[in-house]
Amino acid sequence: MEWRRVLLGKAFLSILALLIVLNTFFFYYQHGGSYGQFGVRAESYNRNLEELASLSWEEGVAACDAFHEEVSQAIINGTWDKGSDRYKSASMEAIKAQLEYLISYPPYLNGIEKDAKKIQGISLFSDPNSFNYKNTVKTANDFARMKGRDVSFGHDMAVTDVLEDRWADYSIVLLAAVICAMFLAERRAGLWPMIYAAPGGRVKMAAKRVGILLAGSVIGTVAVLGPKILLSAWLYNGLDEWGRLLQSIPMFKNVPIPMTVGQFWLFYMAVKAAGTFLIGLVLWAVMSMVANLGLALCAAGLLLAAEYACTTIRSGSVFAILRYCNLFSYVDYIQVFQRYLNLNLFGALISGSDLVLVSLPPLCLICAGVCLAVARYKHPVAPVNRLLRFADGLRKKVDPGAARGGLMALETGKLFVRRKGLLLLILLALILTEAVPPYRRFDPLDMYDQYYEQLYAGPITEETVASLEAELAASTEADRSNSLMRLINTVSRAPDGAWLIPSGPYDSVWSQDDEGRHGATALLALLFLVLLISPIASQENEARVKLLMFASPGGRGRLWRRKASLAALTSALVWAMVYGTEFFLISRYYGPFTCLAAPTSSLGLSTICFTFIGSESSTPIWLTLSLHYGRRLLIMLSVGQLCMLTSSLCRRNRDAMLVNMGLIVIPAALVNIGSKALASVSFLIPLECVPVFFSSAPFIVCALTGAASAALSCYWLTTHRAVFHAVVHRLSAFRAK
């Protein structure tokens, strides 16, 4: 019965189907669909690789270099096709890296043995009992297993693209967390005492649930990861290369275990399933130990935070073992597998990857035993929890202060504390720590362009042209000369008042979004805004206190104003976190924003940034930049008011969340992957801002939508007559009694 309830229940099957569809759908459109660069990436890579497959590795490298020279010359002549040629350039660079690696791999293996002997001859490392000496011996012996094995040229992206996508890893863990939540369903339903009193309601049922969790982990791993492996192999023509040596791929250069690609996939999925099983056991043990759901979530959050903090320990630290004996080693196991590092474990040497594998079975047994013990000895009725008593005492001290803070403080506490909004903000902050800036189009002469743009930044004068010509006369490098020739041509035809500007950060801000970074950032902002604001008004409906609040003196106009202000502040906070991080990363990766007083038309002189080509605007760049991010803030504020309107119309938080997902997030996600069906009603394109930067209509429509949403929510929460009559009816019935 328990197996059918969990693994064949609607909740598990629907979530599993949703994760399969989302992971497969997004992966296909990212690498083989019809949107931007991703639409031709696989096709271009396969075609160029097959053209070079008949050549020797050295000839292939020479062919890639020749193509690079042709592209450089085409850029100088102004005949470079920034469309199809760019895709071929990216694939040729990847293929060249593969060929150079294949040429260097045999010497690399021989060099490991030679370096080990050299190090052992140094007096500092010559002691046979020292860690350094044992490390050199073990390293040489491990990599000696790879000698005599032939590496081959093939479709590396059929493997690497699967491993670069992290969503599948977290999707599998999410599925395990859902199973653990279903194990505790009887507590929410008030059936825990009855199940605990049944003959098989403790250890027997817990043992079955351990098996269910293991089966769910295996099913989730195979169902979510398997289709992506097959799809990637099909897109990159790698289905017939599963017998190829894994070390033929540069990503696995430091893996001393001889195996084929097919064997690796079986091994990888087995480790992922076992690691997911371990993570599920840990979550189940923590959540079953603590009866209170809020405390259980806090305990699980603290544990995961501590585990994540251990991943920042340096490899040379004496505590490096904690970095590998870690839950996140099983979430992102490929980072452990592809890195060779020997650790000192009580005098014995063991690699980090082996340590993770060796510790996995005993950890699973220990955690399973803990889950069984908790099920056996944890009573449904127990003395008052000390943590709950402490929390109650803290609440008695905090609540009066919050009450004195007024209605705004109470509403903020409800949204961010009781509705776990603070946890969502922490999660958003953690996601943003791994964010990357918007993609900036590559140019073969980019390094020299940026150098001279920074050197001669400022208004373009005759002295600027003369200095660049002097630099050209003194240059002896071909690429440097080509860059100078292009810059001289650019500044010579610049209109009066134009500036030479370091284009790096501005190209990133107003890039054409070939990698989908603007869309992904906008989608992230919309998703967390929906998650945060959806319960803002529906929480009173779900608690059935709306009538009471409506009848109170401040329960109408004053309450709406506080909620609308809170929605606006939350929208501004998410905007500041997401786009503040983007602004910081752009300035960090591509240089600071300089020449802010220059006219915006100067941005059109850049060799990469195409947004402002042909623009004659004399508006200073700082004002254009402020308008760019200000429009994004306007969109976020409008979305926040729309979320508040739908929340006020729904009776439950879940309904409000689903409605907002359907209205805001799903259309944005479809637009982000290239579908144009809902582009006209999605907030994603205005929030990206770049595609419609010179059009005011989308922003006016969004602003009107936000204003109309605010007006309708005000009407519904302050003057809705049906609610007023319901209040009068309830009061009349009360007086009659």
pLDDT, tens digit (0-9, with 9 covering 90-100), for 102-144: 999 989 888 888 887 777 777 666 677 777 788 888 888 888 8
The residue among 457, 679, 643, 496 whose CA lies nearest residue 567 is 643
| Confidence at 218, pLDDT banded by 50, 70, 90 | very high
Q: What percentage of the chain exceeds 70 in pLDDT?
A: 82
Q: What is the DSSP letter of 482?
A: H
Q: With 50 as the cut, is the pLDDT of residue 36 above it?
A: no
Better-predicted residue by pLDDT, 281 or 343: 281
Average of per-residue pLDDT across 606-635: 77
Residue 353 burial by CB count (10 A; 0-12/13-18/19+): exposed, middle or buried? buried
Residue 583: the pLDDT is 92
By three-state DSSP, how is residue 599 classified?
strand
- Integer Cα distance of 227 and 242 in angstroms: 15
Average of per-residue pLDDT across 270-274: 93
Q: With 80 as the cut, is the pLDDT of residue 89 above it?
A: no
Residue 366: the pLDDT is 93
**CA distances from residue 506 to 455, 525, 613 in whole angstroms, order as listed:** 17, 21, 13
Helices 535-542 and 621-649: angle between axes, nearest 10 degrees: 10
Residue 513: the pLDDT is 58
Average of per-residue pLDDT across 241-248: 91
Average of per-residue pLDDT across 31-53: 68
Q: What is the pLDDT of residues 405-453, one digit of tens each?
A: 566 777 887 888 777 788 889 888 888 887 888 877 666 677 777 778 7
- Integer Cα distance of 514 and 501 in angstroms: 23
Tokens of 486: 């292009």
Q: With 50 as the cut, is the pLDDT of residue 38 above it?
A: no
Residue 37: the pLDDT is 43
Residue 214: the pLDDT is 94
Amino acid, res. 262: G
| Confidence at 611, pLDDT banded by 50, 70, 90 | low
By three-state DSSP, how is residue 458 classified?
strand
Residue keyed to tokens 């920034």: 82
Q: With 80 as the cut, is the pLDDT of residue 336 above it?
A: yes
Average of per-residue pLDDT across 45-55: 87
Residue 442: the pLDDT is 64
Residue 379 burial by CB count (10 A; 0-12/13-18/19+): exposed, middle or buried? exposed
Domains of the chain, by residue range, sit at 516-602+618-736
Asked if residues 272 and 169 have their Cβ atoms less than 8 Å apart, the reply is yes
The segment with the largest mean pLDDT, out of 288-292, 637-641, 676-680, is: 637-641
Better-predicted residue by pLDDT, 497 or 207: 207
Q: How many degrees, rounded to 5, is the angle at CA 416 between CA 412 and CA 421?
A: 145
Dihedrals phi, psi of 324, to nearest 5 degrees: -100, -40
Residue 245: the pLDDT is 93
Residue 47: the pLDDT is 85
Q: What is the pLDDT of residues 510-520, one digit of tens each?
A: 876 556 678 88
Q: How many degrees, rounded to 5, is the angle at CA 523 between CA 517 and CA 528?
A: 130
Residue 567: the pLDDT is 92
- The DSSP secondary structure of 359-425, one letter per residue, reads HHHHHHHHHHHHHHHHHHH--SS-SPPHHHHHHHHHHHHHHHHHHHT-HHHHHHHIIIIIT-HHHHH
Lowest mean pLDDT among 5-9, 200-204, 700-704: 200-204
| Confidence at 722, pLDDT banded by 50, 70, 90 | very low
Residue 512: the pLDDT is 67
Mean pLDDT, the chain, rounded, equals 80
Residue 262: the pLDDT is 92
Better-predicted residue by pLDDT, 104 or 321: 104
Average of per-residue pLDDT across 272-288: 90
Residue 624 burial by CB count (10 A; 0-12/13-18/19+): exposed, middle or buried? buried
Residue 689: the pLDDT is 85
Q: What is the pLDDT of residues 532-591, one digit of tens each?
A: 998 888 877 777 776 666 667 666 778 888 888 999 999 999 999 999 999 999 888 888
Average of per-residue pLDDT across 729-733: 56
